[in-house]
Structure 1
């Protein structure tokens, strides 16, 4: 199993909590963004920063914002539909899920030097996230990533 397929909080990584205790220890953000509403990317970033609050782990928050922006932008630009962004912050870290309504699964794009900054979103997620993946949903897909260490202390 690669690090991108491994989930956070595997067996033996800490105390076992009941689902109720886990939910009390988590903070949640859920936003729906409309089709082609690229201004919503900034709003989601600000809501994420507010959820994370002030912290000495600013670098981890910056990475979380960058990767969230990339996934939301990808969902809006490449699907032609809106998306639902869900962020969960708990003891194990942060998990961001961006659900869109198109069944086509993304593949990391290998950009050429002529592409400018186009096509690097999933490469950034792959490089900076502790884990990431895609799973199909009944009406589309969910692209997600997790960050552990720096964000877990928020």
Structure 2
């Protein structure tokens, strides 16, 4: 696995802490660790994903990917205490950067599994995240770990 800075940021062109672009066995990827309560860094997750996906998919697919990743990261940071780890991976192969299948995983360290709310009040400001994932992702799920879980989704690029 080859690691490279995700993008240049900060003083003197130093890579931003915690964001790493990875060339994995599956294809180009982004990896980002977030400590509990770092909601201000959700924007950094979106920016890193935007950079990874800058040429990927049909119009609008990058926006959906950013929205769903933001929802999963926010849920992990709001509803757990131990922080989260996001990994976004494009499928392998020469066309992955343009039309590979995207898989986003958000791992946290709480064992309780999330469940989409069936009804959310119109005045409420929360409770819609997993419904968005359920409605917009091509596939999604939850995988338990010894400590915690991973909530994931996949999107097809929908290239011609």
The two structures share one fold, judged by TM-score above 0.5: yes
Q: Which of the residues 111, 135, 144 maps onto 1:127? A: 135
**Shift of the alpha carbon at 1:58?**
3.1
CA distance in 1, matches of 2:123, 2:82: 24
Deviation at 1:139, TM superposition (A): 1.0
Matched, 1:29 2:39: no
Report the count of equivalent residues: 130
Unaligned runs of 5+ in 2: 1-23
Q: Which runs of 5+ in 1 are unaligned?
A: 1-21
Q: 1:74 — aligned with what?
A: 75
1:57–1:144 distance in 2 versus 1, CA, 3 Å: same
Between Structure 1 and Structure 2, the one with more helix by share is: 1
| 1:42 matched residue in structure 2 | 43
Deviation at 1:70, TM superposition (A): 0.1
Instruction: Give the equivalent residue in structure 2 for 1:15.
Output: none
Task: Provide the residue aligned with 2:88 in structure 1.
Answer: 87
Q: Over residues 87-137 of structure 1, what are the superposed CA-to-partner deviations in whole Å (9 max), with x where a residue is unaligned?
A: 001244100000000011111113432542310000000000000000101
Q: Secondary structure at the match of 1:40?
A: helix
Q: TM-score, normalised on structure 2?
A: 0.75
Asked whether 1:117 is paired with 2:118, we answer: no
Q: Is the 8 A contact 1:35 1:82 kept in 2?
A: yes
TM-score normalized by structure 1? 0.77
Aligned to 2:108: 100
Root mean square deviation of aligned Cα: 2.0
Greater relative CO (CA pairs within 8 A, separation 6+): 1
